[in-house]
A = this chain, B = another copy of it.
Amino acid sequence: MDIYNFGKELIVKAGQFVETRMTKEFKVDSKSNPNDLVTDVDKETEQFLYTEIQEKFPDHRIIGEEGHGENITDTKGVIWIVDPIDGTLNFVHQGENFAISIGVFIDGEPYCGLIYDCMKRDLYHAKYKQGAFLNDQPLAHAKNEPLSKSLIATNPKRILREATKDSFFNIMAASRSVRSYGSAALEFAMLAKGQIAALLFIKLHPWDYTGGQIITGELGYKTTDIHGNELPLLGTTSVISGNPEIHLDILEFFKNDKTLHDFHDDFHNL
């Protein structure tokens, strides 16, 4: 079985693992701050993914939100970038509205992207240059729409910083309306379905965006950082994703914001 088909089966199996595991008790801890939660289910699901991938493809490497691949510093060979539960706060507080996200790269080039909405049993998937799908249905190509006629998604609490708020608030004000769903992977999934036109984050990790970036890239959506630069596979960055028109509209707001640029580049060690 090739990597893509193996990945699709694997992510659904991992989703079944989460669904079963969450009905039993699990511990909730905090990581970098009291609102950055991790549960036993996050850790066990990452371990499940790690074990299955290693068993099938011993020479592949895995980078995960919960600690696997921390020491990886190059992108040679096959790398799986996995988020076992994207939207852990939703997982804990809502019991739904979270997803498993996987991006696979070969020598730093995208190979396939997978997002699985466990509770809805919706699998979003794409193999590079072969289109993107929701389950068995091909997803439609991005339509150009300006910011003024669009719903955009962002996390309003994360942009309250002095350095970020001016540009982000101006973008919010210029949009039709703002949504916030608490899972970057599911916001990429909504972008892929055309339900939102753009998503904006001041800081994400590769496991938050690689799956979604590959899937939406197949549909013509653009994803860059606030400078318009490509996203890295290692490290953190800002993420601006949307149809080509809104993506340009949004980058325009950042262009002359030196305060934001300085903060951003320092924040992400650029």
Partner of A148, one of B34, B94, B157, B182: B34
Stretch of A73-81, A107-115, A170-178, A243-251 lying at the B interface:
A170-178
Q: Is A177's CB under 8 angstroms from B89's CB?
A: yes
Q: Is B182's CB under 8 angstroms from A151's CB?
A: yes
Q: How far is the CA of A155 from the CA of B180 in the complex (A)?
A: 9
Report B-chain residues with C-beta under 8 Å of the C-beta of A27.
Answer: none
Q: Is B177's CB under 8 angstroms from A155's CB?
A: yes
Chain A residues engaging chain B, CB cutoff 8 angstroms: 34-35, 89-90, 93-96, 148, 150-151, 154-157, 160, 169, 172-173, 175-182, 190, 194-197
Starting from the known contacts A156-B178, A157-B177, A179-B181, 13 additional A-B residue pairs (CB-CB under 8 Å) come to A34-B148, A35-B176, A89-B176, A93-B196, A93-B197, A94-B190, A94-B195, A95-B195, A155-B177, A157-B172, A160-B173, A177-B182, A178-B180
